[in-house]
Amino acid sequence: MYWIKRILQVLLIALLLAAGYRVALHLYVWLDSAERIAARSEEETRSVVHWLSPDKPLIYTFPTSRTVAIRVLSNAIFASQTVLDKPINYAIEYRLLDSQDNELEKHTYHHASKLALEEGEQQVKQLIEDRQALAVTSGQSFYVDWQQLTQASKISLRLIPEEPSLRGVVVRIHGKTPTNADDVTRTWLKLPQQWRERMTSYHTLGDSGLQPQQIANAVSYDWRKLAPQGIPGIDFDADILYESLPYNVITYDFSAEQFDLDGYYTRPGLAASIRLSEAGDLNLQTQGDIKNLQLSWHDLTQQQAPQTLQPVTTDDPTRFLLPDMQPGLLVIRSHAEMTTTWRNEQDQVIAPLHSYYYHLNEANQAEYTVQGGSDLQLDMRGAPGSSVQLSVYDAEQQLLRSETLTLAGLNSGFDRLITPETRREAITDSEKRYLRLSRQAHRVTVSSTEPVAAKLQSRHGAMHHQNYVCATLCDAPENGFTEVGAWFSQSADNEFHFIEQQLILKVRLFSAPPPPEEKQSGYLSQALFVSLPVSNTALVYSPPKYFALPQPAEPFQYTPLVDLAQLYDAQLSIQQTAPVSAPVPKVITLSDTGIRYTEQEIDQLDKVPDLSDPSLQHFINHGTPRDYWKVRLFQLQPGQTLSQNYRDRDKPMAIVIKPFVRGAHPAEPLILTTQLDGQFSQVVTDEYSIARKRYALAPDLAQSAFLLHPKDPTLTAYPSITLTIGTDIQRLNQLIVSAEQPLWFALLEEYATPPPQPQWWQHEF
């Protein structure tokens, strides 16, 4: 019996060893047959991906209240690398659903990507399925932002194949959620070192160049991966995608010294500028001789003359300070090649703006799919005399129109081209042309036989342009008003071709200071008594521009009465002047108590004004300078609309609205809407007039204004709005104005030669 038990034990152990050997052999054969495109390395990552289906969509659920954005990263899959020389096209249809599976939005996002290249060139990707290494294209992604997710709790994805050789598409979905990090620095240090290195690899200085705000942005949100609904293997299929890092990084072998991409490069004939939107100190760092640097500050309202600035030295010989800078334009020039780096009070680098252009030539043209009835802006840069061909086609590829545009090719003096080696090269100034498309338009091509940089932007003519406006430069606060840009860039259908041929040009953009041009036109104020019966005169501070030539003073122009000698001089002047030659000067008195406003001729004064009383303000229309104008304002109530008729009248060059609100220091911005109705040109023009605009106006606390009313003269001034009537408006029918708050305003029209018209109602003289 004993030997029988021992024999059975040996047999059982032998069977277990045989089974284990067989399993290990199968595992070894399976792993050995899965050959990789490239060997594994420490920089390899593995990601769980899900296959998209053209028939059955994948549905992902996410928390609405905590999801700020959704990122969809996709890769096209092929059985073998058979099409390395051309991009692969596919599309993903996504739908946003609510908790009851009701469809809220539906969009289609098209992709064009190429197969991932071999190791050592660009990137390596690999997906293993059924013992075969499948070819994977470079990753493509799109984002769904919070504005689309306010009501949605699910997203549905479906594949739309556009290539017969496409085996499938795999996706990864991530939701952007807040982390609620209390200690920003501690949270940052807790992140794995590899994560931190990847997040800071873009920075020229690495970790040491990060600012507190950048670290806070890095840890404030986290991308959490979402899983599809259903049972794996039944409702959806999953696989493992192997990738080597970094993704899509192309390195250059620079033959010359690199320039700091954060720096402002200047040399004789090539200047730079910084738009200052808030007051504060600026820090400057340079490796060159500071004596070669010329700095000037420009007031964009042109009420102050340009000011030359002298940097203040610090303990560091390469760092300098510009204290107490005001909003405006800082212009940077130099006598020699220099690169400067600028930081604000928070020690954050001030980065310049840039834009991308397609490099057109005889062999490469840009092709766009456009929406019929939309408006186009074509932005071009080229040598003098260069020509650009703009062609418009319908859906049947029939030519609707073709325009040849000739460029002036003026040197910019501020903008510059950034080469792949980070060098800066001079470029011509931007030249824009505008075209309103017909309903039949479907496709647009832009071509040139000479080297030309071009980009296309579009908008719908009926769309509102929403803008936050200050008297000077400012940043729009987060007060619920959303700015909507006038134009939106369009990507060419053949953009991948330009990327592949390295024909994408990066242009760094700078603003030039406004030139001191004295206008030869004049303004005519309009009487709105029929439409707006409630009106009142006001005293408004309206200083001239710093370069304006002195003009003879008018009776409706006033100056503060700060010395009784002004009054005595006015009284003496009327004694020496014939009574009918000029009106008698008047004194306007504004009081903080009692009767708030009085106005008397100087020969009818009851008593001499008490200039020592701080509760009184006096103004007189005698002497110089007279920067306070007496104007008539009309009242526009919320819900009320002003329709100013321009039919059968000369078209003005521009319409100016000067708005005011009763009271002092309103907390909310003034919301104003304007609309221009008329006949717009359907040919290519140099000017474009936006028909619908909506403004949020910030109070202009530097401009004083008083309503000449005995009860409450307090007024708050707002920035003026100028509506340019361009050459693209063939006939102007009417202007429509409305406001969301009670508004007092004056309406002025600009003409090359103001028509003679008595304005007794305007100034009451």
**pLDDT for position 145:** 74
For 233, the domain range is: 44-244
Q: Write the DSSP assignment of 688-727 as a string of letters.
A: ---SEEEEEEPP-TTS-EEE--SS--BEEE---EEEE--T
CA atoms of 367 and 547, how far apart (whole Å)? 47
Mean pLDDT of 700-712: 88
**pLDDT for position 481:** 83
Q: Give the 3-state DSSP-derived string for 290-329, with helices as H, strands as E and coil as C.
A: HHHEEEEEECCCCCCCCEEECCEECCCCCEEEEEEECCEE
Mean pLDDT of 144-149: 76
**pLDDT for position 370:** 92
Cross-strand pairs, 128: 133
Q: Are strands 338-343 and 264-266 parallel, antiparallel or unpaired?
A: antiparallel
- Are 347 and 376 in a shared domain? no
Phi/psi at 654 (nearest 5 deg)?
-160, 160
Confidence bin at 645 (pLDDT 50/70/90)? very high
Is 104 contained in some domain?
A: yes
Nearest to 617 by CA among 594, 593, 586, 590: 590
Domain ends where: 244, 272, 306?
A: 244
pLDDT digits (tens, 9 = 90+) for 110-141: 776 666 554 443 344 455 444 455 667 767 77
- Are 198 and 235 in a shared domain? yes
Residue spans of alpha helices (H) in 180-233: 184-190, 193-200, 212-220
CA atoms of 471 and 731, how far apart (whole Å)? 31
- Are 443 and 331 in a shared domain? no
Is 165 contained in some domain?
A: yes
CA atoms of 98 and 64, how far apart (whole Å)? 9
Q: Are strands 729-739 and 670-680 parallel, antiparallel or unpaired?
A: antiparallel
pLDDT digits (tens, 9 = 90+) for 473-529: 888 887 778 888 889 888 898 887 887 787 899 999 999 999 888 777 888 888 888
pLDDT digits (tens, 9 = 90+) for 242-299: 766 544 433 333 333 445 666 898 999 999 999 999 899 999 988 778 889 999 999 9
Phi/psi at 761 (nearest 5 deg)?
-75, -20
Per the confidence metrics, is the pTM higher than 0.75?
Answer: no
Contact 728/434 with Cβ under 8 angstroms? yes
Pull the structure tokens for residue 40.
């594994």
Pull the structure tokens for residue 577.
């002047």
Looking at the predicted structure, is the pLDDT value of residue 760 above 50?
A: no
- Are 192 and 222 in a shared domain? yes
Is 11 contained in some domain?
A: no
Cross-strand pairs, 309: 295
Q: What is the CATH number of the domain that holds 335?
A: 2.60.120
CA atoms of 81 and 89, how far apart (whole Å)? 15
- Are 494 and 537 in a shared domain? no
- Are 497 and 397 in a shared domain? yes
CB atoms inside a 10 Å sphere around CB 477: 11
pLDDT digits (tens, 9 = 90+) for 406-439: 999 999 999 999 887 677 889 999 999 999 999 9
pLDDT digits (tens, 9 = 90+) for 61-73: 888 888 888 888 8
Is 380 contained in some domain?
A: yes
Contact 161/90 with Cβ under 8 angstroms? yes
**pLDDT for position 747:** 93
Phi/psi at 160 (nearest 5 deg)?
-120, 95
**pLDDT for position 701:** 84
- Are 534 and 682 in a shared domain? yes
* Sign of the CA dihedral running 634, 636, 637, 643: positive
- Are 346 and 367 in a shared domain? no
Angle at 241 between CA 239 and CA 245, to 5 degrees: 165
CA atoms of 232 and 84, how far apart (whole Å)? 32
Residue where the block lists tokens 């650009």: 388
Pull the structure tokens for residue 529.
């008594």
Is 415 contained in some domain?
A: no
pLDDT digits (tens, 9 = 90+) for 166-177: 788 888 888 888
Q: Which of 84-88, 154-158, 300-304, 562-566 has the lowest mean pLDDT?
A: 84-88
How many Cα atoms sit within 13 Å of 610 on the Cβ side?
A: 6
Looking at the predicted structure, is the pLDDT value of residue 18 above 90?
A: no
pLDDT digits (tens, 9 = 90+) for 310-369: 999 998 888 999 999 999 999 999 999 998 989 988 888 888 888 999 999 998 999 999
**pLDDT for position 746:** 93
Phi-psi region of 543 (alpha: psi -120 to 50; beta: other; left: phi over 0): beta
- Are 166 and 288 in a shared domain? no
CA atoms of 697 and 695, how far apart (whole Å)? 6
Mean pLDDT of 152-160: 89
**pLDDT for position 259:** 58
Is 175 contained in some domain?
A: yes
Nearest to 264 by CA among 418, 412, 380, 410: 418
pLDDT digits (tens, 9 = 90+) for 359-415: 999 989 999 999 999 999 999 999 999 999 999 999 999 999 999 999 999 999 999
Total domain count, the chain: 4
Q: What's the order of all strands across the beta sheet hosting 328-334? A: 272-276, 328-334, 293-298, 307-309
- Are 191 and 285 in a shared domain? no
**pLDDT for position 32:** 61
CA 457 to chain centre: 13
How many Cα atoms sit within 13 Å of 537 on the Cβ side?
A: 19
* Sign of the CA dihedral running 348, 349, 350, 355: negative
Q: Pick the more confident residue, 444 or 75.
A: 444
Residue where the block lists tokens 């592949």: 500
**pLDDT for position 29:** 66
Is 571 contained in some domain?
A: no
Mean pLDDT estimate for the chain: 83
Is 298 contained in some domain?
A: yes
- Are 482 and 389 in a shared domain? yes
Most confident of 223-237, 557-571, 680-694: 680-694
Mean pLDDT of 695-707: 90
Confidence bin at 216 (pLDDT 50/70/90)? confident
Confidence bin at 640 (pLDDT 50/70/90)? very high
- Are 334 and 368 in a shared domain? no
Mean pLDDT of 634-661: 92
CA atoms of 556 and 764, how far apart (whole Å)? 8
Q: Are strands 522-525 and 586-591 parallel, antiparallel or unpaired?
A: unpaired
Q: Write the DSSP assignment of 110-156 as a string of letters.
A: EEEE-BPPPTTTS--EEEEETTEEEEEBPPEEEEE-GGG-SS--EEE
